[in-house]
Structure 1
Amino acid sequence: MRWFRLVSLRLQVIVLVVSFTLAVGLGNVFRAHLALEDLAREQFERRSVATALGLAAQASDLVLTGDLFGLYDLLNSTLVNTPDVRYILVLDAGGGVRAHTFGPGIPRGLAAANTVLEGEPWRVRRLNTEEGEVVDVAVPLPEEAGGVLRLGMSQQVLQATINRHTTHLLGLAAASLLPVLLVTYILGRALTQPLLKLVEVTNAIRQGDWSRKAPTNGRDEVARLGQSFNAMTEALVQSQTALQARNEELAALYAIATTTAHLDTVDSLLEAALTKSLEVMGLRTGWIFLAGNEGDGEPVLRAARGLPAGAEARLAEDCLPVQPAVLEEAVIAHNGQPCPCLPAGSADDASLCHAAVPLRSRARMWGTMHLACPAPGCFTPSHLQLLTAIGRQVGVAIENVRLAEIERREAFQRRLLEQVIGAQEEERKRIARELHDELAQNLAALSRELESVAQTPAIASPPLQSRIRDTRTLTLRLLEQTRRLIFDLRPPALDDLGLLPAIRRYARHHLDEAGVALHLRTEGAKRRLPPAVETALFRIAQEAITNVVRHARASRVILSLRFAPACITLTVTDDGVGFTPSPPWTTGDGGWGVGLLGMRERAELLGGRLTLDARPGAGTTVQVDIPLEEA
């Protein structure tokens, strides 16, 4: 039935109705034909029996009188005068033929084809012959005459009559199709015409004519379909309008974002944003106020377009309906009256109406953008919604530029700090080297010379010997202090042996003097680290140990180094008095604060992190984690 869907609905209706009517008509004709045939057969059989009974009554007298000529005459006259009769047989009691209507002879087997049983008034049997079906009626003759009369009647005439009536009925059925076709055509047209109009409207809408409406006359299903179609069309128009407005909004936001994406200063950003916003809105006049002093000061005019000469100096913020700080969405600051923000006679009469747009990012208010329009009422709600989105986009861009400026300053400060620390370490190296090469060597030479002088026999005066010994002792003390100063400035073990030996020697030397027990722990495969990492970790450990000696009043310090493939961790834990750190890790008396800040800066310069865990009475733990590049 797929082909059935390829034709029009009107033709489908006509084909369906005509097919149904034809099927019903043919069915009725067939049923009438069968009923007529059954009735005719029954009547024909009754007529055959009646004819046979009448003929038997007449023939019995002739048989009794032995009038064979009269019997043949009776049979032949009946055969001639009755068109349906095909043959007549008169049989004797023994089954022999007394008379018949066959000329040359009786067909073989015909005499015995139908016999009457004893007690039956007659017997009917249908025989198939060359001429068709024959109704054979056997009627017994009276006992005096004896025998049986056989009458054969053909149904050809009856069948022809039935066929003629059936043909007549078929003709009537065919004739009845004409009004059915007419009615079906009218009905199909009435049903499909609104649908065709609906298809026409659909094609028009497909081509972009959204003003066309489907017919809705009447209260039938087609009318309801038209109403639903019109409602759907209106919804599509609204959806398309909203989608188009949204696309325009997104295009405007994309244009703003594209324009401001690569700008690295606030002023260039504001100039570009104002120019693009005026272009998007189709306006010429606008200006931007930005809060001074990073958002806390008075608003400052930072960008303007289309203002007459001298107008920028007289612009003010008093035209806003609310304070700029609480402005959440774009509003019409003035509509239809001279605007106090603009001097009289501004270019293009732009002072008749202008909108104020907040420039926000998250919860921060950066300033306001003002767009002036030459006609009152030119800002629709959709325009204000778009301007609000533009304001947020510009606010986010301002924040990004400010963050980028902060990042650049911090990066510059980090580079500067790296250079300062590097220069400091180099200067420490130089001073330590000069102290070792000059002062320490000279003090050692002076000590040896004093010892040599003290052992000279010529100097035997006890007071002089005592002064020489005191001078040598002072010289040795100065030499020891110089060596300690050299070690504090730049321990040679750090460059020669690495981080672990340098920290071990420094910690034992200083903690032993302070009476603090040292427990040194290491984990992982010990190895040399990059010089910058070793220097930073040594300085952090040096500062932590110094703080323990000066402030912690501890009895034990646990110093651990954990070597991991991608990280090195230094932990210094004491059981001292502890403290309550406050941001940024400073105490009220400044005891730990400056040193901790220096430790944190050294760790962060190498991409690491310093963690402080300190509580009053519970000791202090300083941990620093520095990432390493895997070998």
Structure 2
Amino acid sequence: LTGVWAYGETPDWFVVLVNIIGFYLISGTFGYAAKLLDRLRTTSQDLTQTNEELAAAHQDLEALYALTASLHSAVDVEAVQEMVLTAVTTDFGCERAVIGLVDPQENVITGWLGRVQNGPAGGTKLLTHQAKLPLTPSGGLAAESVLAGRICQATEEHCTPDNWLNTHFGMSGCLIVPLRWGLQPVGVMMVDLAEGDGEETRRRSLEVIAQQTAVTLGMMMTRQRRARETAVQEERARIAMDIHDSVSQSLFGIVFTLDGAIKMLPEKPEAALPALQQALQTAEAVRREIRRTIHDIWPEEMTAEAFAADLRHYATDVLQANNLRIRFDIRGDFGALSARARRSLYRISQEALTNIVYYAAASQASVCVDVANGRAILSIRDNGRGFEPEVALAQEHGREHFGLRGMQERTRSLGGTCDIFSQPGAGTSIIIDIPANMTLE
């Protein structure tokens, strides 16, 4: 325009307008294209980063799924610790990880198991330690994390006050994740993330691992505690049955003999002497039986002959069944019976003979053991007065009655059956069927 006006010419305003608009359009187009390219570049970088995060998250999810599936096959607490530590150090890139377990009885954290990476070759080693950290603030950051139920990030200080743990596991400035099953603390996991692996997603993955681990450990510890409690109750019941089957019956015989001796003393003191000697022998047998019960001593090498002889001695000397003829018949491979099976058959036979002597008024009885095809069948019969089994079992109630019901409970605990056949005036037959070989001694 300046040039045109300088020569005194009138400009073509349409051409001028077109040139101006073209100039701005061209410059604007190129400027927008540059901005668009910059945005596309930024978006591409964001998508690449998001894709990498998604790939890492997918990998973490696959590792979490594999870990969860493997935890269901763990056989004990230590196996759970090893599985979790392997996953944390291998699949989630942690250089080292440690798991400690809460002992509610002592209120401490103990049973430490750690996994440490060694060098660029990826070699690892497991370390164990039985340090006991008090589950109080004096137990350091690990105990505080468990008590508070929250994740703690240590800075440069040690995670525990135990020098051995700090030295061998190198746990300083680590991430501390409590293991809690509901409101119940079950342990603590401490991990040392490798450089560049401290993202929020990785931390969330570790939280999920801690939750799965806490559930598995909590359920396993609960089952173990209940199993121990059940075993204690069963052992108490077994001891009570043993005492009833042997000691209490023998004491009854001693009382009966002494009562008779006392009545004979004023007029026939010489006649009372044999009865007192018999009571002394019975008392000695009771002493041995009590010692055997306390220490649970039972010779595995007991033979069929010794089995029958001991029962005959029990009937004649302890129960004083002088007018009862007892026939013993041992068939099959008696040596194939486990110690527990022999002890159980012996106790059941004792109880059955006691019932025959004191309640059946029988003149004949038989005890037969037949071992064949992995089973042991005990048959005890008498020609006594008989009874109604349903009525007798219904009358046996309370903690102090371990007769017929005790036989059934003992047999049931062995995985066997106990059948009682009787009716008034027709005698009684008791059939016991149990496994011959039992591994739980």
Q: Same fold by TM (over 0.5)?
A: no
TM-score between both structures, scaled by the size of structure 1? 0.25
- Which structure is larger by alpha-carbon Rg, 1 or 2? 1
TM-score (norm 2): 0.35
